[in-house]
Structure 1
Amino acid sequence: MEMIFRALAIYLILLVVFKIAGRRALLQMTSFDLILLLIISEATQQALLGNDFSVTGAMLTIITLVVVDMLFGIMKKYFSGAESALDGSPVILVENGTLLTEKLKKVDVSCDDILVAARQNQGITELEKIKYAILERNGHISIIPLEK
């Protein structure tokens, strides 16, 4: 039973930490981010399993994490507002070639981040050619070009 509570606690803690970190943390992974992810995963593994390195303990932990994730999925499906509370909502960062600076500050995204997404996804190199840039729930930036 202790393993179930450990898994639930770690899941909720990571959910809160990454919610606080914001979607910016998902936008681009640098070498520092990779190192941090490895350290977090090692600390999480130790916290989840404690001194129990049995296959049964690992299976119980995995099942608990998957069930909690499924329950959050069900909550998002049936309770209005749960998806926005857990995943956030899309944020428009550029509208008709104009940066929406207050929204950029709020989500901690730079103009360079938008231009990188524009170049990679649409081949656009100028902000003025972007109709909309939208920070999606998953941390990616969608680019909608201005019509020619």
Structure 2
Amino acid sequence: MDAVVRGLAIYFTLLVIIRLSGRRTLAQMTPFDLVIVLVISETTQQAMLGDDFSITNAILLILTLFTTDIGLSYLKRWWPRAGHVIDGVPTILVVDGVYDSKALRGCRLDREDVMEAARSQEGIETVQEIKFAILEVSGAISIIKKS
């Protein structure tokens, strides 16, 4: 039973930390991010398993984590507000060729991040050619070109 409680505590702690760290961290991993993920995974494993490294404990923990994930997916389906809290909502970064500086700061993005997405997706050279730039929940930036 201790493994279940530990697993749930670590699961929700990581969910909150990853959610607070921002969506871009998940969309574009740098070598630094990879090292952090590896260190976190090792630390998480030790915290969840404690001193019990048995196969039974590991299976119980895996089942707990998958069941929690499935339960949260149902919760998000039944209660859309929970999905907004857990996954976030899309953020508009550019409207009719004008950057939303507050949104960029809040998402910890630079104007160059938006322009990189605009160039790669639509071949856009200037922000004035962008109707909307939206930071999606996945961390990707969607660009809608002016007609």
The answer to whether the Cα contact below 8 Å between 1:134 and 1:142 also exists between their aligned partners in 2 is yes
- The more displaced of 122-131 and 80-89 is 122-131
| Residue equivalent to 2:70 | 70
**Matched AA of 1:100:** D
Deviation at 1:36, TM superposition (A): 0.7
TM-score (ref. length: structure 2): 0.94
1:17-38 deviations in Å (ceiling 9; x for gaps): 1121121322321111111111
| Residue equivalent to 1:4 | 4
The answer to whether the Cα contact below 8 Å between 1:26 and 1:140 also exists between their aligned partners in 2 is no
TM-score (ref. length: structure 1): 0.93
Alpha-carbon RMSD across the aligned residues, in angstroms, is 1.2
Deviation at 1:61, TM superposition (A): 1.0
Please list every run of 5 or more consecutive structure 1 residues that lacks an aligned counterpart in the other structure: none
Name the % identity. Answer: 45
Please list every run of 5 or more consecutive structure 2 residues that lacks an aligned counterpart in the other structure: none
Deviation at 1:119, TM superposition (A): 2.1
| Residue equivalent to 2:82 | 82
Deviation at 1:124, TM superposition (A): 2.2
**Matched AA of 2:29:** M
**Matched AA of 1:32:** F
| Residue equivalent to 1:54 | 54
Count of matched residue pairs:
147
Provide the secondary structure at the position in 1 that maps to 2:80: coil
